[in-house]
Structure 1
Amino acid sequence: MPIQFQFEPIFAESDRIVDGVLLTLGLSFGAIVLGLVLAILLVAAKSLLGRWVGLLVDAYVELMRNTPFLVQLFMLFFGLPLLGIRLPGTEAALLAMTLNLSAYATEIIRAGVDSIHRSQLEAGLSLAMTRRQVFQHVVLMPALARVWPALSSQFVLMLLASSICSFIAVPELSGTAAIIEQNTFRSFETYIVVTLIYLVLALTLKVALDRLGRAIFPRISSVDRLDAKAEAA
C-alpha cells in the first residue's frame, strides 16, 4: 500500500510552528550571546586571576562538558526548586543552554589564547600595557579570530540542541512538533516539516556567523586565508 502524505493538517498549524521557530531562535541567540560573554570572562579569569581560579574554571568546564545536556537541564528545572529557586521552563532552558555553551566556548577560546606566541605578550608588556590591556588587545581578539569557525560550529550545535528543551515542556520547535503530532496524528509529515526547518535554520545561522566573522575580524581573517592558501600550495 503506497504511503499517502497529508501535509494540509500540518500547514494548518503554521501559526503554532512560527511561534515555535521564534522561541527556538530566541533561546539560541540568547544562549549564544550570554554563553560567549561568560566564556570570555572565564578565560580572562583563568588567565589573569591566578592558579586557584584557573582550577575552578577547569572544574566547571569539565563538569559541563562531561555530563549530558539533558541532565543539566533537569538539574536546573527540577533540582533548583528544592533550594527554593523556581524557574519557568523557558528561563531554565535559557540558563541551561548558556551554561552548557559557555563551557565548550571556554575550551575553544582557551585553545585560541594558547596559540598566541609568547613574544606578542612580551611586546605588549614592553609598551607599558597592563596585563588586562595585553589580554584584551593582543590576546583575545586574535584568539577569537582564529577559533571563530569552531565557535560558529558550536553555536549551530546549540541551536539544534535547543530541541532537548521540549523535555521540560518548553514550546520551542520540537515541543511544538509534539503538540501538532498529537493534534493531527500525522507523525511522519510533522517531522519532515520540522527537519526541513531545522536544516534551514542551521544553514542560515552558519552563513550568518561566517559573514559576521569576516566583518568583525577582516584583517586577521584575510591573513589566515592567505596562510591557508600558502600551506595548500
Structure 2
Amino acid sequence: MQYDFDFSFLASTWPRFLHGAWLTIQLAAVAIVLGFVVGAVCALARTSGSARTKRLVGAYIEIIRNTPLLVQIFLVYFGIASIGFKISAEVSAALALTINIGAYSTEILRAGIESVARSQVEAGECLGLSRLQVYWHVVLLPAVERVYPALSSQFVLLMLASSVTSQISAEELTAVANLLQSETFRSFEVYIVVAVVYLALSFLFRTAFWAIGQLVFVRRRRLGTPL
C-alpha cells in the first residue's frame, strides 16, 4: 500500500504553526520562572522550616507527583471557574504548569541544598553574613549549580508536557495541530511537522539553558562542565 505525502498545506498554515509554537514557548517560560521560585521557596522550607511547614510542603509534593498533569489542569481550569472567577485557558494552563513544575523543582533543589555541607553554612555565619546572604550565596547558588543539569532537563520535559493543555483549548502547538488535521485531513503530515517543531523547541530550550548556565555559573564555564 502506497501513501502519498502532501505538505502543500504548509504554504497557507505555517503562520498558525508559528503562533502555536510561540504560545508553547510563552507557557513554558512563565511556568519555568514561577515554578523555579515556588521550588526554591518550598525546598528551603522543607529543609529548614518548622515541622508543620515540612508536612505541608511534603503533602503538596506527594499530591502533585502522584496525579496526572491533565487532571491537575482540569482541576485548575474548572475549579477556578466553579468559584466564579473567569480566566482564559492560557492563564489556567500557565498556572497548572507552574504548580506542577514547582513540586518537581522542589525535590530537585532539595537534593542540591542537602548536598551543601553544614560546615559551609557555619563558615558563612562566621564571616558575618546575614541569614539571607548565607541562604543565597552559600546554600542556594551552589545547590542550583549542582542540580542544574537535572533541573534543565525537567524544564524541557515541562515544555513538551505543555501539549496536554490543548485539552482545555489553550491554542498552543498541539491544539493548532489538532485543528489543522481536522481541516486538511492530512493527519500524518501535520503531526510530522509538529514533531519537527517540538524537536526544534527542545534544542532551543537546551541551548538557552546551556547559555544561562555558562553566564551564571562561572565555575562551570571555567571547567567546561556540560549540561
TM-score interval for Structure 1 and Structure 2 normalised by the shorter chain:
over 0.9
Distance 2:190 2:211 in 1: 32
Counterpart contact for 2:47–2:110, Cα < 8 Å: no
1:217: Cα distance to partner?
Answer: 0.4
CA distance in 2, matches of 1:12, 1:19: 13
What's the CA shift for 1:133?
2.2
Q: Determine if contact 1:77/1:86 at 8 Å carries over to the other structure.
A: no
CA distance in 1, matches of 2:161, 2:11: 24
Cα deviation, 1:128-151, whole Å, max 9, x if unaligned, reads 323332111100000000111001
Rate the CA distance shift 1:221–1:107 in 2: closer, same or farther, 3 A: farther
Asked whether 1:111 is paired with 2:111, we answer yes
Could you say which residue in structure 1 is the equivalent of 2:169? Answer: 169
- Backbone CA RMSD of aligned residues: 1.7
Q: 1:224 to 1:17 in 2, by over 3 A?
A: closer
Paired with 2:163 and 2:174, the residues of 1 have a C-alpha distance of: 5
Give CA deviations for 1:109-138 in whole Å, capped at 9, x if unaligned.
000000001110111122232333211110
Query: After alignment, is 179-188 or 81-90 more displaced?
Result: 81-90
Q: 1:47 to 1:70 in 2, by over 3 A?
A: same
Gaps of 5+ in 1: 227-233
Say whether residues 1:189 and 2:200 are aligned partners. Answer: no
Does the 8 A contact of 2:35 with 2:105 survive in 1?
yes
| Aligned 8 A contact 2:44 2:110 in 1 | no
What displacement does 1:49 show? 3.4
Q: How does 1:119-198 map onto structure 2 within 5 Å?
A: 119-198=119-198
Offset of residue 87 of structure 1: 2.3
CA distance in 1, matches of 2:162, 2:11: 23
Q: In structure 1, the residue corresponding to 2:17 is in which secondary structure? A: helix
State how far apart, in whole Å, the 2-side matches of 1:219 and 1:198 are: 31
Residue in 2 that maps onto 1:66: 66
> How many Å separate the matches in 1 of 2:100 and 2:143?
21
Question: Shift in Å at residue 224 of structure 1?
Answer: 8.6
How far the C-alpha of 1:10 sits from its partner, in A, is 3.3
Q: Tell me if structure 2 keeps the 8 A contact 1:36–1:102.
A: yes
Q: Report if the CA contact (8 A) 1:48-1:132 is conserved.
A: no
Deviations 1:30-86 (A, max 9, x none): 111111111112223334432211221111111111110000000011122222233
Deviates more, 1:156-165 or 1:54-63: 54-63
Aligned amino acid, residue 145 of structure 2: A
Work out the number of aligned pairs and report it. Answer: 226
**Letter in structure 1 aligned against 2:3:** I
**Secondary structure class of the residue paired with 1:12:** helix
Question: What is the alpha-carbon distance in structure 2 between the residues aligned to residue 182 and residue 114 of structure 1?
Answer: 50
**2:43–2:110 Cα contact (<8 Å) kept:** yes
Cα distance in 1 for partners of 2:225, 2:189 equals 43
Summarize deviations over 1:172-229 as a string: whole Å, max 9, x none: 0000001110110000000000000001100121122012112100125645949xxx
2-side partners of 1:103 and 1:216: how far apart? 24
What is the CA–CA distance in structure 1 between the aligned matches of 2:99 and 2:213, rounded to whole Å?
23
Q: TM-score normalized by structure 1? A: 0.92
